[in-house]
Amino acid sequence: MSARRSSAIAAAPWAGLRTAAAACLRAWRRIPRAGRACFLIAFVNVAIWSVVIPPFMVPDEISHFGYAQYFAETGQPPPQGPVYAYSRQEYAALGALEFGPVYGSPLGLNRGIFTSVEQTALRRDLAANDYPLGQGGVTTATNQPPLYYALEAVPYWLSPSNDLLTRLVFMRLLSALMAAGTVLAVFLFLRELLPHTPWAWTVGALMVAFQPMFDFIGAGVNGDNLLYLASALTIYAIARAYRRGLTIARSAAIGAALAVGMLAKLTFLALVPGAGLALGLLAWRARGAGGRRALRMLGAGVGVAAAPVALYLLLNVTLWNRGSALAGGLSSVTGAAGSGATTITWHEIFDYTWQLYLPHLGFMNHNYFPGIYPLWQIWLDGSIGHFGWLNYTFPLWVYNDFQRLVYVLAALGAIGLWRVRAAIRPLLGLFACYAVMALGLLAIIGYLGARDLATSSTLFPQARYLFPLLAFYALAIVLATKALPRRWAPVLGGLLVVLAMAHSLFAETLTISRYYG
């Protein structure tokens, strides 16, 4: 082989990287400046949150970090056997950080380590237990697909130090980047639906960027962050294809977003039927370009979505030997009730799911939420802020005032929806597909909650489980502003963004006082 040919072969990967980087830069420049600003604001905001929150105080972060560390060290998901779940390094960190007493405090009374003496003891314990490879036992995360954890392996190895806490900082920044990507996807989604109202794109995106529970989850190592990003991208890609017409490239973009979601978290499967319906509707609308071409468009989306998932399933049952197609996780999402795995019936699942969002009805055999109304206490109050491992909250007046604000915004939203009804009428098919996606998510949350309640007698739902639908939250805020005359609508939008910023800052202050006060 000639020296010239060897040099060309060696330079090929770098040339490919330069080409990809140039394409990404061109795509970035095509995004409106306001969208780029929303992305950067969201990233900086969530990055600040990641510094404020102590290690492992984001819900389930210990499990997600353990999965990511195992994948980074071995190149495969954890086997989930009856062995220790985490590495000796992580166990030492949890002990030195006094994780148990802090996260387990029911009233949020125990603070994290703070003094120089505690910091010195932490470093000493980490230095004495620096073995990073765990055995990969079962945790709340290990039945999930590996894409998020494979991505987190990159900052894990790029960290300038092998110290666990330093690696955690860089891994959290990747989650912050995903949160910023979610905000940008919401901005682009609103641009597709409201092309003649540029201020609304920014208002909706910033309302998500300063949503404190979204920021709290985004600040930690948690697979939900890739789920939120994939969901927002799917919703945006469908809207773009619906408004501009389906092409092979746009169909492939929908398929790519679906593939990312399915490889991010099993919960995303709840959105797939609605997204599949949307893809079929888009192909039907494109049949004027020719039946065969419409089928090729549909095939591009389905193929791009299915190929990576099929590869994952094959690896799961062969090379990784994890026992089942979805590592035991398929039954946790679509398992048959009453099959012996649990003692709950389909009737009980329906009753539980109904009561999770709507009032208890007289014919229902059991009241699963006595004394509370989940729509307020779980979903609304949880979205306003149930922080840490759900063990510290705002003062009660904050929730009461926000409930009043929600009543006002709901009324304004209904008026705004009526005022823009003519513009929405051509999009009814699109919104029908979105409704199927939303109902699928609500149903799967209900199923999983009913199953967990039957097996462990614990309340399962948390407000963050609704965050794959954040794009619709942003749209609802924008519709509320449309209730006002055109000149005043941006003013209301700006006031709501300022309120969201204050809300996020209040939450950060509350978090600082919780752990360092």
Question: What's the average model confidence in pLDDT over 272-276?
Answer: 97
Main-chain phi, psi angles of 392, to 5 degrees: -150, 145
Question: For 186, what's the count of Cα atoms within 13 Å in the CB-facing half-sphere?
Answer: 32
* Three-class secondary structure of residue 169 per DSSP: helix
29: pLDDT confidence band, cut at 50, 70 and 90? confident
pLDDT score of 334 more than 50 = no
The share of the chain scoring above pLDDT 70, in percent, equals: 91
287: pLDDT confidence band, cut at 50, 70 and 90? confident
In a domain, 11, yes or no: no
Burial of 454 (0-12, 13-18, 19+ CB in 10 A): middle
**Number of structural domains in the chain:** 1
Higher-confidence position of 102 and 479: 479
Q: What angle do CA 308, 434, 375 make, to 5 degrees?
A: 110
Over the range 6-26, which residues count as b (16 or more CB within 10 Å of their CB) and which as e?
eeeeeeeeeeeeeeeeeeeee
CA–CA dist 49, 57 (Å, integer) = 12
CA–CA dist 142, 144 (Å, integer) = 5
327: pLDDT confidence band, cut at 50, 70 and 90? very low
390: pLDDT confidence band, cut at 50, 70 and 90? confident
CA–CA dist 58, 466 (Å, integer) = 17
Which residue in the block uniquely carries the two structure tokens 């199953």? 451
SS3 content of the chain, % helix, strand, coil (to 5): 75, 0, 25
410: pLDDT confidence band, cut at 50, 70 and 90? very high
Confidence at residue 44, expressed as pLDDT on a 0 to 100 scale: 98
CA–CA dist 1, 98 (Å, integer) = 60
Write down the mean pLDDT value for the chain.
88
Residues 281 and 297: beta-carbon distance below 8 Å = no
Main-chain phi, psi angles of 369, to 5 degrees: -130, 60
Q: What is the longest distance spanned by two Cα atoms in the chain?
A: 84
Q: Which of 69, 222, 81 is nearest to 134 (CA)?
A: 69
In a domain, 330, yes or no: no
pLDDT score of 406 more than 60 = yes
Q: Lowest-confidence range among 11-20, 154-163, 261-270?
A: 11-20
Confidence at residue 335, expressed as pLDDT on a 0 to 100 scale: 37
In a domain, 507, yes or no: yes
328: pLDDT confidence band, cut at 50, 70 and 90? very low
Q: Lowest-confidence range among 13-22, 256-265, 372-381?
A: 13-22
In a domain, 93, yes or no: no
Question: What's the average model confidence in pLDDT over 96-102?
Answer: 86
Burial of 94 (0-12, 13-18, 19+ CB in 10 A): middle
Please state whether the predicted TM-score (pTM) of the whole model is above 0.75. Answer: yes
Residues 309 and 269: beta-carbon distance below 8 Å = no
Q: Lowest-confidence range among 61-65, 102-106, 313-317?
A: 102-106
Q: Which of 286, 210, 270 is nearest to 494 (CA)?
A: 210
392, β-bridge pairs: 387
- What domain range is 315 assigned to? 163-321+352-358+371-439+460-516
In a domain, 112, yes or no: no
pLDDT score of 342 more than 60 = no
In a domain, 17, yes or no: no
In a domain, 105, yes or no: no
What are the E-state strand segments in 258-378?
Answer: none
Residues 232 and 185: beta-carbon distance below 8 Å = yes
CA–CA dist 466, 469 (Å, integer) = 6
Confidence at residue 337, expressed as pLDDT on a 0 to 100 scale: 40
Please tell me what DSSP assigns to residue 375: I
Confidence at residue 101, expressed as pLDDT on a 0 to 100 scale: 85
Q: Which helix (H) or strand (E) holds 95?
A: helix 88-96
13: pLDDT confidence band, cut at 50, 70 and 90? low
Question: For 332, what's the count of Cα atoms within 13 Å in the CB-facing half-sphere?
Answer: 16
In a domain, 111, yes or no: no
Confidence at residue 4, expressed as pLDDT on a 0 to 100 scale: 60
Q: Lowest-confidence range among 125-139, 267-281, 351-365?
A: 125-139
In tens, the pLDDT along 459-496 reads: 668 999 999 999 999 999 999 999 999 999 999 999 99
For the record, the structure tokens of 8 come out as 């060309």
Report the residue count for the chain. Answer: 517
